[in-house]
Homo-oligomer: A and B are copies of this chain.
């Protein structure tokens, strides 16, 4: 192996994640080859195979959840005519500052109308919904698309977590009543928990956002936040009760059963898979590198053959049979036949986060056994070959449960009550989230929120929608009797 290659393929990773998370993140992205920041346009990063393969599996899981809940896929253009983007006043105010504009083509030919790279797709989709929705029989209309979206406003960029192009999937649903739309928001939060928590091992807190922090043009926004290793929260999917605001702006009406033309009610929901991937590797990783959940690991099992000289052929054959056997059971498996030493391979695949490693040498072959190593706990066991397939699947489940439990354990005690600005900052400085009495998350609480932002390093994430909480005490801003319990955190 030449020195130049050694340069890129480092096997040993050792960075204290809790102590220096930003450095850990930057380095694991580089060393595990997850994204390349050298592309030359800030906020745009190519994703090599190791991240892409997991991201594709994550898309699959989310799409399955959409199919189960009767959403059908569709594909919309990447560009939006400017006139459409400007149809809803609050929406354009919120997004126009972030838009990449196409105003010319070819050798300087100006377009008659500028085109926006979609920052989100409401204004692309809803003019079509205006044509597609006609009768109550067309409703509910539940559709989603997988898409890239583009936002230029992001300042300090980070691969996956804060990019200018991100990979997402967005559903856009239309209902005959506001009640059904509100029920969809609950379904969306359930999908979020099922996907992010049950499949990716990420505990989340579900919030109703404040009126000044909601989706531009919508009625209400609900979102799931996860806690990152540096004590900041990151927004995972958010879902929006759009009310009838967009249906009025885009003229989405239908004939109801009474034969009256009325406006429809809408929701949209946008999980950014690339950001969820960033949160997932951050939360599960340890000082030795990635720890990928079994469900989304590109390779669930890596086989490392151990041999010298004369044993080589027999051991390799033994490993190849194991590989075929596992593949037949739909397990994603990679046999590392490269020239590196077993020790190098152990380190390398541990850094890459492969959940299960199988080691097999001449002695294992003789006894019809293999050594199995689980990356999450860094533990070995020896098992009979005949039990392998079953054990891999069981162990895969155990690993995913353990990763989730570990992530949940880290959350314990991290939400602390605070009643003054000093207490809030004290909590945030210790990587915690402050639970704070507050007057209102409607617009009349806005001046109190401004005080919070001025006097602390945190921001209000909203009120919990997944648990009931009774406010006690006085609003941290105005000192009036609190009607809400809000959570304050630093955020991505």
Contacts and interface: CB of A to CB of B under 8 A. Distances in A.
A393 interface: no
A38 B129 CA distance: 11
Given A73-B49, A79-B165, A152-B106, A134 B4 contact: yes
B101 A153 contact: no
Contacts of A132: 8, 36, 48
Interface in A1-56: 1-2, 4-5, 7-8, 36, 38-41, 44-49, 52-53, 55-56
Contact of A40 (B2, B127, B135, B152): B127
Contacts of A79: 41, 44, 100, 165
Contact of A135 (B4, B77, B167): B4
Nearest to A130: B38
A262 interface: no
Given A40-B81, A40-B83, A48-B74, 5 more contacts: A41-B113, A46-B74, A49-B72, A96-B106, A101-B102
A1 B257 CA distance: 10
Contacts of A7: 134
Contact of A46 (B52, B77, B81, B105): B77
Contact of A45 (B40, B77, B97, B113): B77
Given A44-B79, A74-B48, A103 B104 contact: yes
Interface string A126-144: 0110011011011000010
A124 to B, nearest CB: 8
A104 B135 CA distance: 41
Interface string A116-129: 01000000110110
Interface residues of A, number: 67
Contacts of A103: 101, 103-104
A76 B74 CA distance: 22
A134 B38 contact: no
Given A49-B72, A117-B102, A78 B77 contact: no
Given A99-B105, A128-B38, A255-B4, A47 B72 contact: no
A101 B105 contact: yes
A102 B100 contact: yes
A259 interface: yes
A348 interface: no
Interface centre among A41, A84, A125, A152 (most CB of B within 10 A): A41
A128 B40 CA distance: 10
25 contacts: A4-B255, A5-B137, A5-B138, A7-B134, A36-B128, A36-B132, A39-B77, A39-B124, A40-B81, A41-B81, A41-B115, A45-B77, A46-B74, A46-B77, A47-B74, A49-B74, A52-B145, A56-B73, A75-B167, A78-B148, A79-B100, A98-B106, A99-B105, A101-B104, A103-B103
A83 B41 CA distance: 11
A107 interface: yes
A131 B44 contact: no
A269 interface: no
